[in-house]
A and B are shown apart, each in its own frame.
Chain A
Amino acid sequence: MVSFAPELIFKIGQFPITNTLLNTLFVDATLIGGAFYISRNLQLVPKGKLQNITESVIETFYTLLVSVAENRAIKIFPYFMSFFLFILFANWSGLIPGIGTIGFWEHDKLIPFFRGTTSDLNTTLGLSLVSVVATHIMSINTIGIKDYLSRYFSLNPINLFVGILEIISEITKIISLSFRLFGNIFAGEVVLITVSSIFAFLVPLPFLLLEIIVGLVQALVFSMLTMVFMAILTIPHHAEKR
């Protein structure tokens, strides 16, 4: 049975190195290597497919963001795109055939060296924290501290109550973002392991395809929600009321 917690591979001093952390490093290497490779080979008239694909993805997301956030798009875009790319690669890295079968045996249990990093709550919670904290910092920088605080605190009792609800909703954002992503990817892993242990060939394929789609959809959901939260919180409170 797959455990919720990531498996410990080794320790450096007091710090645990888990299989999801190793997977994170693999995703990092892929993204950073890809970014360097693409940026070094950029041409005004693209010749390779890689530049074309990257450009079309970035342009599509940027155009979508501009339609939602207008002039704040340039500030929001790095978060929106980075969340999407990181989560997408993290989700799909856990689906690489054989990745969960390479490991070592411990107490008659196989401990894989790599496990999808988004199936670890530490990762999804970390991403949610970055998303929510960055949203609030951006909100303060864009609309000012006074306008920002007026969203949550007011002398009007009704508005004060709404503000308290807003604070609660901000906390629930962290929980909902992290648990949605974690739940979907972890559940997918469990399904794949279960189906693969019953049927070795062919039958797991539709589930694998489904998980590829789930990985894409979850990356889109997380990044889109972050984009929407950022777009909403960077509009001045009084303008939003109008």
Chain B
Amino acid sequence: MDIINNFGLDPFLLGTQVVNFLVILFVLKKFLYKPILELLKKRENTIKEGLAQAEAASIRLEKVIEDEKRILRGAQEQAKKIIESAKNEALEVSRQIREDSKKQTEKMISDAQDQIARESHETERRLSVYVSKIATSLLEKALSEFFSEKEQKEVLTKALKIVKKTN
């Protein structure tokens, strides 16, 4: 008993300390460990999800890059084909235009030559008529001094016939 008294053991103090620790245990469990362990778990899950998402995004990105390259290659090939076809078409069109213009030029030249021939023929005809008129007038004047009117008409008629024949 002396030892117990020396150490100051007291049932009330002992019980108080036991109850006190149980209260501390309850409070810390409810308000410290539980929220922190839940938070750590939540953070762990968030990090795991984030890593999984990053992994998936990386795979998707690689796939998208692959698709992009494939599409780009296809587009380049298609563009090449389109350019080639456009080039051929342009050459065909230009050849066609050249041919058409050549034909048109030749036609225009031919038409112009025809017109020139027609006009020169007309001019010649007109000139002939005019020259005949002048010749008739000169002949009338020259004959009026040597022949009668009747003779004049006969000569004139003969002369005109000759002229017409020569024409």
Mask: chain A, 143-169; 1 = CB below 8 Å from B; 0 = not: 000000000000000000000000000
Question: Please, how many angstroms separate the alpha-carbon atoms of A36 and B27 in the complex?
Answer: 9
Q: Which of B12, B13, B22, B24 has the most CB of A within 10 A?
A: B13
Known contacts A55-B36, A59-B40, A77-B33; decide if A35 and B28 are in contact (CB<8 Å).
yes
Interface residues on B, range: 20 to 34
Total number of residue pairs linking A and B with CB closer than 8 Å: 111
CB-based nearest B residue for A31: B24
Judged by a CB distance under 8 angstroms, whether B9 is at the interface is yes
Judged by a CB distance under 8 angstroms, whether B37 is at the interface is yes
Residues in B whose Cβ lies below 8 Å from that of A62: 37
Judged by a CB distance under 8 angstroms, whether B98 is at the interface is no
Known contacts A16-B13, A121-B8; decide if A39 and B29 are in contact (CB<8 Å).
no
Known contacts A6-B8, A39-B32, A122-B9; decide if A28 and B39 are in contact (CB<8 Å).
no
CB-based nearest A residue for B6: A4
CB-based nearest A residue for B21: A130
User: B2-35: which residues lie under 8 A (CB-CB) from chain A?
Assistant: 5-10, 12-18, 20-25, 27-29, 31-33, 35
Known contacts A42-B39, A126-B17; decide if A32 and B24 are in contact (CB<8 Å).
yes
- CB pair A130–B18 under 8 Å, yes or no, is yes
Question: Please, how many angstroms separate the alpha-carbon atoms of A107 and B20 in the complex?
Answer: 32
Contact of A122 (CB < 8 Å), options: B5, B8, B25? B8
- CB pair B22–A130 under 8 Å, yes or no, is yes
Judged by a CB distance under 8 angstroms, whether A189 is at the interface is no
Judged by a CB distance under 8 angstroms, whether B42 is at the interface is yes
- CB pair A127–B21 under 8 Å, yes or no, is yes
CB-based nearest B residue for A86: B24
User: A69-112: which residues lie under 8 A (CB-CB) from chain B?
Assistant: 77-79, 81-82, 85-86
CB-based nearest A residue for B27: A32
| 4 shortest interchain CB distances as A-B pairs | A5-B8, A126-B17, A122-B13, A35-B32
Binding site for A on B (CB under 8 A): 5-10, 12-18, 20-25, 27-29, 31-33, 35-37, 39-40, 42-43, 46
27 contacts between A and B (CB under 8 A): A3-B8, A5-B7, A5-B8, A6-B8, A6-B13, A15-B12, A16-B12, A28-B20, A28-B23, A31-B24, A35-B27, A35-B28, A54-B36, A55-B39, A58-B33, A58-B40, A77-B37, A78-B33, A81-B33, A82-B25, A120-B8, A121-B7, A125-B14, A126-B15, A126-B16, A126-B20, A130-B18
